Structure 1
């Protein structure tokens, strides 16, 4: 029995010394009778010092005979959020709880257990979560607007220009003046260029192949389009999947591939760009590699918005994003997405 009690005390002491929450034993005058290392690190308070009043207690209204300390007034408080002054002069957000540990009815003396939990980490986590949610909503709104504009350019402006082109062709058949016909032909050629530009802008905003045929067809179409203006670069595309991604995954993956290709063309001086899209039991993986000049990943000047946007898009769809690069060897982007398939209703 004595050994069991000794062992119990040993474990209780270990818990008291090593637990992450701050633990304090104080009397009804708020004098600190015991304090563990976590509480000391958090507050800077010491033994025999007094626990200061939190912001709530300083500002709250109370009855004349009511204790200024809300925690002592109520003896047992499961949890309570407030700002607590520290020894260093600043205030910290903490979750506090109290329990009456000892009461001497003869002398009316009480001792309380005060537990402090730092809320600054939780607040930062909440802020990060809200920030990520806002970014996700902004990306979704942006893609929705891109889709609307692409549709408007294709079905609205594009069709109107095509109608004008057909009308010019009809007018041309009734005119026998060679100089006027030559002028109309020039106008039709300029109109053809404008129609091609409109088609290109609509594709950049939202490729129709992505919605109609899926991510594989969209990537292949993107590669074919980029090839036409970059004949010196060899593109390799390999995939083993025919399944459709869910729409959110599709558009975000497509944007990452698009951004990566344009970065390679603009900065990497690469001769070969390879894209591998594979599905496995672990999910969908995407690898984008080039044999360009590479860069120092750790250098602050290389922390461009493009890379941040790519990684943020992948994190928003529950994926993992990593990048490797060595100067003169090239750059590789690795992406994995566990939950990616389109759910068929």
Structure 2
């Protein structure tokens, strides 16, 4: 016979082994069966784990799922399967409240007594098993040989074992649910990615994500980049990194685009820019880019956006602007010619007639009136001559851009405190009249702005002809202005200046800041292969 202490030690060891089995063994079904064996042997009784379920008729029943019996009996298992809980309402309420229920055959109520008669049991105890705070099932320990009194210590350790089963089940259910969620989310991600890739492949442009650096270091760039640039997408990405996207940007656009993107991002989270690239074949293309700035959890910024080829649109716009400006210049030329050839001749004739009449009249009072009229006519002649020159500077037509700008500076020198310096490398070679006229209008507008607003002490105008480009720069050391004025729609004649540059297939950039002066850059393609384009513009102008 075991002493009470030996019995308690045996029970504690058995429960410890059972709980350890549940924790260590990753196969829950096998672990639970072995755990029940440890419990049954420790308590010298039969152990059952039953699960609560619903029948098709919505009746709650209890069915044994795992067991260990000293003497196996299929009959007893069958009698403990699909057992209606309604027959044990009192016990069910106790279990739902988290309480255990102990019973003896001699003192049990009628329904329990009948069940014990069927199964041959003498006594037992039932514990609830909870999963996610819901009653999942029961743990029961039965004695077939004698009626036992279940002490508090026994009830406590068995309750701990029931809680351990519930915890493991909760973990398994959570893990299975998590795995299902992961599978579903993975499937959704795959489907979303498939749709995204399909969308990206069908966009007539480049979708990208890059580091926010001047190299445009690409993290992702869509395959369309090959059609746009001639280079495969892999060449811009790790591990190849054969080239940066910045290398494709026209050298004269790189710094400006970087500054412009940063300027726009200071005001918001998105930007829009136009710039040029040189593709694999050496062809210049115009691109429109729109993007936003994003930050990761480490505060590292990146750019995401799309790039569209707008070369055809820009070239079409250039032709429209050329035609528009050509019409405007034809009208200017017409009115200039009419004023010079007709109105000025009429006024000159009137002036001569008045002078002749003055000499014929002896009346001093009449001579005074004629002298006044003659002076007014003379002023009108001077004004019409000035208007004719403004409409179409004859110097441009006769001597070209250099002479026209030099004459303009000479004319304004007495009226301004700004010292203008004009430099060029054209030598004796002139420019086509359409190019000369557009550059002259840009220069004229810039000089007017300097005189009106800049308060500059010095200004430099420089026109340099390079191998494939005419570059006009106009700089002053004046007061400058806020960057938002750079919007052509906000005045200072920037829209007209930009249109003139666009008409020649070029571009205009303005950089200014308060107290830093103003820098204007105009780039116009000017090379042998562009001669056909200039001829086309010339035809539009009508020469």
TM-score, normalised via structure 2 length:
0.40
Give distance in 1, aligned partners of 2:485 and 2:522.
Answer: 22
Give distance in 1, aligned partners of 2:378 and 2:197.
Answer: 73
Q: Please state whether the residue corresponding to 1:293 is helix, strand or coil.
A: coil
| Mapping of residues 113-152 of structure 1, within 5 Å | 129-152=315-338
Paired residues of 1:168 and 1:184 also in contact (CA < 8 A): yes
1:145: Cα distance to partner?
A: 0.8
2:365 is aligned with 1:179: yes
CA 1:340–1:142 in 2, change beyond 3 Å: closer, same or farther?
farther
1:257: Cα distance to partner?
A: 0.5
1:244: Cα distance to partner?
A: 1.1
1:301: Cα distance to partner?
A: 6.7
2:399 is aligned with 1:240: no
CA 1:339–1:237 in 2, change beyond 3 Å: closer, same or farther?
same
- Which segment is superposed worse, 178-187 or 233-242? 233-242
Residue in structure 2 matching 1:292, options 474, 478, 500 = 478
1:246: Cα distance to partner?
A: 0.7
Give distance in 1, aligned partners of 2:379 and 2:341.
Answer: 17
Q: Please state whether the residue corresponding to 2:350 is helix, strand or coil.
A: helix
Q: Please state whether the residue corresponding to 2:449 is helix, strand or coil.
A: helix
Give distance in 2, aligned partners of 1:212 and 1:168.
Answer: 33
CA 1:267–1:231 in 2, change beyond 3 Å: closer, same or farther?
closer
| Mapping of residues 63-74 of structure 1, within 5 Å | none
- Which segment is superposed worse, 158-167 or 304-313? 304-313
1:243: Cα distance to partner?
A: 1.3
Match of 2:519 in 1: 332
Deviations 1:168-204 (A, max 9, x none): 1111111111111111111111111111111111111
1:317: Cα distance to partner?
A: 0.8
Q: Give the number of the structure whose alpha-carbon radius of gyration is greater.
A: 2
- Which segment is superposed worse, 129-138 or 141-150? 129-138
2:198 is aligned with 1:39: yes
Q: Please state whether the residue corresponding to 1:264 is helix, strand or coil.
A: helix
Paired residues of 1:234 and 1:272 also in contact (CA < 8 A): yes
Of structures 1 and 2, the one scoring higher in RCO (CA 8 A, sep 6+) is 1
Paired residues of 1:278 and 1:286 also in contact (CA < 8 A): yes
CA RMSD after TM alignment:
3.1
Q: Please state whether the residue corresponding to 2:483 is helix, strand or coil.
A: coil
TM-score, normalised via structure 1 length:
0.61
2:418 is aligned with 1:259: no
Q: Please state whether the residue corresponding to 1:259 is helix, strand or coil.
A: helix
1:42: Cα distance to partner?
A: 7.4
Give distance in 1, aligned partners of 2:363 and 2:520.
Answer: 60
Q: Please state whether the residue corresponding to 2:459 is helix, strand or coil.
A: strand
Give distance in 2, aligned partners of 1:166 and 1:323.
Answer: 50
CA 1:330–1:310 in 2, change beyond 3 Å: closer, same or farther?
same
Deviations 1:135-165 (A, max 9, x none): 2211110011111111111111111111111
